[in-house]
Amino acid sequence: MSRAKLRACPRARWLNQRLLEATVSPGNPLDLPYGGIYLQRLSSAACCASQARSALTRTMEALGFPQPTIDDGALAISELATNAHLHTHPERPPTGPELWIWARTRPTHDLLVAVFDTCRDALPAPSPSHVLDEQGRGLGIVATLARTWGCHPSRSRLNPTPTPGKATWFTLPLPAHWPTPQQPIPPALAAQRLALTLQSRGLDCARRSDDTGISVVTVEDLIVWVKRASFSWRSDTRTYASHPLIDLQEAAESVVRTLEQTALPYSI
């Protein structure tokens, strides 16, 4: 083995271990460049906006975001958390919204910030009328501050049992110095990470790998191909999806969204 390959082996082993740690221990902002996620349960009371604002600010500061972007994120997340609080079902046990934060590299290099709640009665849709609408004024602020935003059906990450609901999210540009792992991610490891992430959402997964460098993760009726560069699959509607292997959380949430959308009795 050449000296270059010998030097590369410890780096590859370190990266593989770092990737697995980022998968199974959500909560460390420094895991985000390795496909990790920051999660926090928010209060079901009005103070959830303050909690979300503080958590996002600390996370962005730890990751080296410029102050103007941090300020935009703090205001946007306050609006999303307040919106989730206002739409809590009084007849359901209050579990509190959830704050989710992760990074993605496609379609652009973004920090994705989401608030999950268990209300699916009304899913907001991007519309210019939100800026003038009294009820949707906060979403108009989010649309102004964020690069993109949206909402989709999802399921909880922090409840003991999976709970259906929706995730409302926005994105902010990543800093120019965002670290990117230089070593390629083995498909078998990527498949393991995806299966672990989906299992943590209450989904039954099966995975297998072969000698050609291709792995497959099966979740319900969905087959996810894990190749050297990406996760990919086709939904029941024949929609094709593809995500880089480093975008673990984006891929997993896209799978959950696909399955939850299919299970709904109506179209969103």
Query: Strand 164-173 relative to strand 98-104: parallel, antiparallel, unpaired?
Result: unpaired
Sign of CA dihedral 70, 76, 77, 82: positive
Under 8 Å between Cβ of 96 and 43:
yes
- Spatial distance between the Cα atoms of 117 and 135, rounded to a whole number of angstroms: 18
First to last CA, the chain: 55
Residue 39: which region, alpha, beta or left (left: phi > 0; alpha: psi -120 to 50)? beta
pTM above 0.85, yes or no: yes
User: How many helices (H) and strands (E) would you count in the chain?
Assistant: 6, 10
Nearest to residue 63, comparing CAs of 150, 173, 142? 173
The string over 196-217, giving b where at least 16 C-beta atoms fall within 10 Å of a residue's C-beta and e elsewhere, is: bbbeebebebebebeeeeebbb
pLDDT, tens digit, 9 for 90 and up, residues 33-69: 999 999 999 988 889 999 999 999 999 999 999 999 9
pLDDT, position 134: 40
Torsion of CA 62, 252, 228, 186, to 10 degrees: 60
Is the separation of the CB atoms in 256 and 154 below 8 Å?
Answer: yes
Residues of the chain under the 50 pLDDT cut: 1-7, 129-136, 268
Q: Which residue has the tokens 């608030």?
A: 115
- Chain centroid to Cα 77, Å, comes to 15
Give the sheet arrangement for strand 215-219, strand by strand.
205-209, 215-219, 222-226, 230-234, 240-244
